Structure 1
């Protein structure tokens, strides 16, 4: 997510470079973000500019790095003890970073105490490891189903719009069957074009959880055996495999256009597709809650967030950066561009999309109603995600469900054993 103190002109981003290099007497702090060219990077350039204008004795320098290689760069910098003062990282990496000493607890700083009261409960949970808060999040994520109202009504499918009205497994599969019969080529888009990676864990583990399984036994996080390869998880991924066999989903899709171009009537994905989908479908776009495949509905939560590295020689000043980032103005700045769920209660109230009458309010209802859950709070998460994503890919491709889940469990448990159960340092 490296190279902390080269000349400002070489690696600071555009407008931030001028601000960071301006005053030699000011204390310079470096902040890394995962953002290539695009709206988020533009937001952080403006955010850094605003911070520097408000803090005469401090100069914040922004380094924006490509998402694809970001984690590798963070790990390399950590080995060299050259992490920046402030860095962002994907939610499930919090626990591994905290356990391995890359980031420090925030509880002793104003931002740590104040944010526990103000952040969404999912973000507080995401940022907490071993009873301490290690990260703060400007935004959360939403996962549900986008629907094409015209195609659904034509096929005679009931369209739920409230959490309490969610489809059951039987209703969901009946809807897919009806849509296929009505001529929709592959009724459900599940974003297989995103590849074998975090999407498969973020998107498909809630299906397992709704059926009653999980990625790991969350009591102690010592083993995935009997949980990820138990009967509920097997049932869940056997169902997903069945959707592929029935032609209801298209695992071979290579682009983002199946739903927008009406090749699919439903799209199981997150909040980030809203603007494109709205442009494509207009008033026919409807947001449908995550189904209750088992006893309860389950959906994903969490996203990229900020922490202070253990290499930072000025952590109190870095905490001021976090306070600035978590201000309502800065949350509004970034979420107005990336479309994510604002991470604090005050910012939610002001949001046109996520406020009480907003078109994306369902995501907030899922978060506040306990439907949304964070990924396992364990340093083993990267190993869990890698093993699970590979299993899902193989299962959708037709391989034996139980055997693939057993293999995933073996990989996860071996990683935990190799790290002696990840003892708290």
Structure 2
């Protein structure tokens, strides 16, 4: 009797299992701008780790080339076919939020602790209209890489912390001494990157250090008198003067000037660290941003993640985003790309950005209020394009005031065309 009962139950169990539908996995597609390289490998590993840990959600990673990435996002948005998760360059968050390409993240329980742990610069970058729209695994920063051997030979003081930053007078004295000591073009400013976002990210902090900005940040309604005011004109006239004096080679074609000793200083971000360290070894030093005006300013923010308005299961996407923002995943990608970990928890475990790490000055700049995100307005793409065009012409010798006046008109016209970008 017992054997018959056992057989009956086994058959019943098998029948029920066959009859009950297997729970389908929720598919979450994620786009990242990553061609071949260590960052792409890190995202593939993050995807594999998530899928191994979660049976109810399947993460599908799509890696797209950076050059055409923004155009593909725009095309997908028009067709209402954006993926659930996508990354995008920091200042694009405001335009994406305003055009409702992405949704606020504040209501997802998995992301509450992440928001509290986020670096202040990334929290500011991801916020628009009082709501959080994006989360960044990493932050960025500007500094000046120096060749210690060439600096010491020229008798130039090497600042070791933000509190010891050069003034404008000291900075220009350093350029003069280096030029006199035989360095062909002492300051590499990465003009080989070409006209584009680098021009805005890289050079607007000089304008801001002089006391100007790209737009009035109190209202975000106009750039008049700000991007083309006296302080901005002074800032870019000064930059133009460095080029005219032969301190900067605006026609440099690659990153080789600093590595080969043709330049003793390289004005750039964290991303050159590994190549520079390999080339210069112990002669590589990181110098904080100079106080060109009243205070130093560095760029901040970087690529970050958001959940699209087209996502059919944003709760599942939020779970993936929480995974990406975990300490192990942040460290995985920042060890690959050399960027500053985007949370306090991950930063505490970073070797290069620790107190004794070679990149700690970038952390000092964030902690001490030197870092400034790009303007938090949907007009940012228009601002960046106008400023980059003006800067390119100024470096080539154009009249500074005229170029900045032209940039201001373009920006204000864009704002007017969009009725001031009212928060919807």
Q: TM-score if structure 2 supplies the norm length?
A: 0.94
Give, in whole Å, the separation in 1 of the partners of 2:109 and 2:187: 46
**Aligned counterparts, 1:257-272, within 5 A:** 257-272=256-271
Whether the 8 Å CA contact 1:349–1:356 is kept in 2: the answer is: no
Match in the other structure for 1:281: 280
For 1:44, what is the secondary structure of its paired residue? Answer: helix
Measured after TM superposition, the shift of residue 356 of structure 1 is 1.6
Give, in whole Å, the separation in 2 of the partners of 1:142 and 1:340: 9
Match in the other structure for 1:375: 374
Measured after TM superposition, the shift of residue 220 of structure 1 is 1.2
Q: Please list the CA deviations of residues 100-120 of structure 1 after superposition, one character each: whole Å capped at 9, or x if unmatched.
A: 000000000024422221010
Give, in whole Å, the separation in 2 of the partners of 1:44 and 1:168: 41
Match in the other structure for 1:139: 138
Give, in whole Å, the separation in 1 of the partners of 2:116 and 2:354: 19
Match in the other structure for 2:294: 295
Compute the RMSD of aligned alpha carbons.
0.9
Measured after TM superposition, the shift of residue 24 of structure 1 is 9.2
Match in the other structure for 1:234: 233
Match in the other structure for 1:385: 384
Give, in whole Å, the separation in 2 of the partners of 1:81 and 1:273: 37
Match in the other structure for 1:179: 178
For 1:29, what is the secondary structure of its paired residue? Answer: strand
Is 2:309 the counterpart of 1:340? Answer: no
Match in the other structure for 1:16: none
Measured after TM superposition, the shift of residue 409 of structure 1 is 0.3
Is 2:250 the counterpart of 1:223? Answer: no
Whether the 8 Å CA contact 1:190–1:268 is kept in 2: the answer is: yes
**Aligned counterparts, 1:361-372, within 5 A:** 361-372=360-371
Is 2:402 the counterpart of 1:397? Answer: no
For 1:91, what is the secondary structure of its paired residue? Answer: coil
**Aligned counterparts, 1:13-412, within 5 A:** 25-412=24-411
Measured after TM superposition, the shift of residue 368 of structure 1 is 0.9
5+ residue gaps in structure 2? 1-21
5+ residue gaps in structure 1? 1-22
Q: Please list the CA deviations of residues 253-311 of structure 1 after superposition, one character each: whole Å capped at 9, or x if unmatched.
A: 11111101100000000000000000110000000010001110000000000010000
Give, in whole Å, the separation in 2 of the partners of 1:235 and 1:27: 56
Aligned residues: 403
Measured after TM superposition, the shift of residue 142 of structure 1 is 1.7
For 2:335, what is the secondary structure of its paired residue? Answer: helix
**Larger Rg belongs to:** 2
